[in-house]
Structure 1
Amino acid sequence: MDPDVWNEQVALGYDESSAHMYRPEVLGPTVDFLERRAGQGPALEFAVGTGRVALPLSARGMRVAGIEKSEPMARELARKPGGRDVVVTVGDMTTCRAPGTFSLVYLVYNAITCLLTQDEQVACFRNAARHLEPGGRFVIEVFVPELQRLPPGETARPFHVGEHHVGFDTYDLVNQQVVSHHYTIVDARGGSTFRSPHRYVWPSELDLMAKLAGLDLAERWADWDEAPFIASSRSHVSVWQKPGGRPAER
């Protein structure tokens, strides 16, 4: 994961640029889903960022911790009301250890793809398993690669065209890489650009990573509202469970 992407400038504007992810119809089902999977136990968010999900979970009385590689993002979280209640360990989610064990470890909003190699993604699963109590769950929200939507021979596809923002992805199909390009018009005097690299990953590939980490697939949905995952689904929320402990609950 490239730490320079998530710098001070990006951290300061992150919540505004991701405002649509804070809408109640988006955030509410996310928090509800994760709270149910955590049961009565503590939760750990990998790539906790500025606390979009961790803070409302904490506000419900859950003990929530986080791992975050970007110090500017972690500082933004700490500045928010309740931010000090989420104990953040600064480090790489592939290797960093947070104190204690957890009934839930989770990664949201495509954060697994910020790890740019298969080895790093495998290491992330193994690190999640190390943090989990027996019977604990690892939850990931991530997009399904949209290669079927690419015209033959093309490597770029727009994902948003608006009055003040244009975004498109460029694909490297050989190396399973995608770069998201964002061009935002701030005012009449200029705008800003932001590029973030990702490694796209298939659901079946994630399941194999989970098996290598000793986790079993327990659930897969198309979204946080638990719509069925089907061939045309553009994203998925998947749950893997560590053997032992209490039986699965939903």
Structure 2
Amino acid sequence: MTRRGKGPLDPETLLRLGTSEHYEDPELYDFEYRDHRHDVAWYRGLARDRGPRQRIVELGAGTGRISLPLCHDGHTVVAVDRMPSMLDHLRRKAEGAPSDVAARLEPVLGDITALPLPDAGADLVFAPFNVLMHLYSWEDLLRCFREAARVLVPGGRFAFDVLLPDLEWLTWDPEERHSVTHFTHPRTGAAMVYSTNHTYDPHTQVCHVRIYYDDAPKRPRAFKPPPEPVQVVHLAHRQIFPEELRHLVAAAGLTLDSLGGNFRGARLAPGTDSQCGLCTKPSGHV
């Protein structure tokens, strides 16, 4: 890991870093989300319920945490991502999979607001794991929803999940560290500590998360944030509220089938982490 100096960043730089920095180390990314499985089961279930050998486009496919299981299930997946580092890691992982599984995967470098894909070529479009939260204006969000509608066959389905904004969490003290976790770096073997804090801008609806990586103290000493961390990684997430999602679905010409919580279809309520949406492209939509 490289060491990064301190200092305030302008809003444009914050968004640029917040869109990309978290995804520049795919090996560490895979390690951090290795136990995140409930969304994988949900998307696999949606594909299975529609039938075998579905043609799927995944937006923000990253290192294939969802794409590869879908390919294992017999579906073909166009895995779209804007980060070459993530797609390169996905290709390496696919090389270790059975040849028939790798053959069903097509990594594509692209922008999810302007997909380099033909009209009406997909049975399903998936936008998992908060990828829509990297679209920082309603215009870009609407472009993405319309692109999903464009590449779907009539009757095809668009599914997505994003965090449900937690107004209390968003206003936590931006100087206090949270989620303090000891871990061993998967590549270097170094004993380290992960922690976060964040600042929310209500004007833009963007939460700027700072992820800190520090050297772990010698046990049994408790972790105390040092003056200078080993590394700070920025992550910018635009908060998207339920009524905005309902409007985006309708404005894109899609029909909302459900908007539930936590991959269980429950009503959105306090304590809900994720909003899970499922919509359909009407038969008459072009």
Instruction: Give the TM-score band, short-chain normalised.
Output: 0.7 to 0.9
Q: Which of 34, 39, 62 lines up with 1:19 in the alignment? A: 34
Whole-Å Cα distance in 2 between the matches of residues 214 and 97 of structure 1? 20
Do the aligned partners of residues 17 and 169 (structure 1) sit closer, same or farther apart at CA in structure 2, a change above 3 Å counting?
Answer: same
Calculate the TM-score normalised by the size of structure 2.
0.75
Q: Which residue number corresponds to residue 109 of structure 1?
A: 129
Count of residue pairs the alignment pairs up: 240
Whole-Å Cα distance in 1 between the matches of residues 276 and 237 of structure 2? 18
How many angstroms does 1:137 deviate by? Answer: 0.8
- RMSD of the alignment, in Å? 2.7
* Contact kept? 1:143, 1:235, Cα under 8 Å: yes
Q: Which of 180, 191, 194 lines up with 1:161 in the alignment? A: 180
Do the aligned partners of residues 36 and 221 (structure 1) sit closer, same or farther apart at CA in structure 2, a change above 3 Å counting?
Answer: farther
Q: Which residue number corresponds to residue 93 of structure 1?
A: 112
Q: How does 1:43-58 map to 2 (within 5 A)?
A: 43-58=56-71
Q: Which residue number corresponds to residue 75 of structure 1?
A: 88
Whole-Å Cα distance in 2 between the matches of residues 93 and 64 of structure 1? 15
Unaligned runs of 5+ in 2: 1-14, 183-192, 219-228
Do the aligned partners of residues 123 and 158 (structure 1) sit closer, same or farther apart at CA in structure 2, a change above 3 Å counting?
Answer: farther
Q: Which residue number corresponds to residue 248 of structure 1?
A: none
Calculate the TM-score normalised by the size of structure 1.
0.85
* Contact kept? 1:169, 1:179, Cα under 8 Å: yes
How many angstroms does 1:215 deviate by? Answer: 0.3
* Contact kept? 1:11, 1:76, Cα under 8 Å: yes
Do the aligned partners of residues 167 and 149 (structure 1) sit closer, same or farther apart at CA in structure 2, a change above 3 Å counting?
Answer: closer
How many angstroms does 1:90 deviate by? Answer: 0.8
Q: Which residue number corresponds to residue 141 of structure 2?
A: 121
Q: Rg larger in 1 or in 2?
A: 2
* Contact kept? 1:65, 1:86, Cα under 8 Å: yes
How many angstroms does 1:221 deviate by? Answer: 2.1
Q: Which of 218, 222, 233 lines up with 1:194 in the alignment? A: 233
Q: Which residue number corresponds to residue 262 of structure 2?
A: 223
Whole-Å Cα distance in 1 between the matches of residues 176 and 241 of structure 2? 19
In structure 2, the residue corresponding to 1:127 is in which secondary structure? helix
| Stretch of structure 1 that moved more, 188-197 or 111-120 | 188-197
Q: Which residue number corresponds to residue 209 of structure 2?
A: 180
Whole-Å Cα distance in 2 between the matches of residues 165 and 52 of structure 1? 21
Unaligned runs of 5+ in 1: 246-250
Do the aligned partners of residues 156 and 102 (structure 1) sit closer, same or farther apart at CA in structure 2, a change above 3 Å counting?
Answer: farther
* Contact kept? 2:171, 2:200, Cα under 8 Å: no
* Contact kept? 1:156, 1:171, Cα under 8 Å: no
Do the aligned partners of residues 30 and 157 (structure 1) sit closer, same or farther apart at CA in structure 2, a change above 3 Å counting?
Answer: farther
Tell me, yes or no, if structure 1 residue 34 matches structure 2 residue 46: yes
Whole-Å Cα distance in 2 between the matches of residues 186 and 84 of structure 1? 41
Do the aligned partners of residues 150 and 52 (structure 1) sit closer, same or farther apart at CA in structure 2, a change above 3 Å counting?
Answer: closer
Equivalent position amino acid for 1:238 in 2? G
In structure 2, the residue corresponding to 1:112 is in which secondary structure? helix
| Stretch of structure 1 that moved more, 84-93 or 48-57 | 84-93
Equivalent position amino acid for 1:42 in 2? R
How many angstroms does 1:223 deviate by? Answer: 2.1
In structure 2, the residue corresponding to 1:124 is in which secondary structure? helix
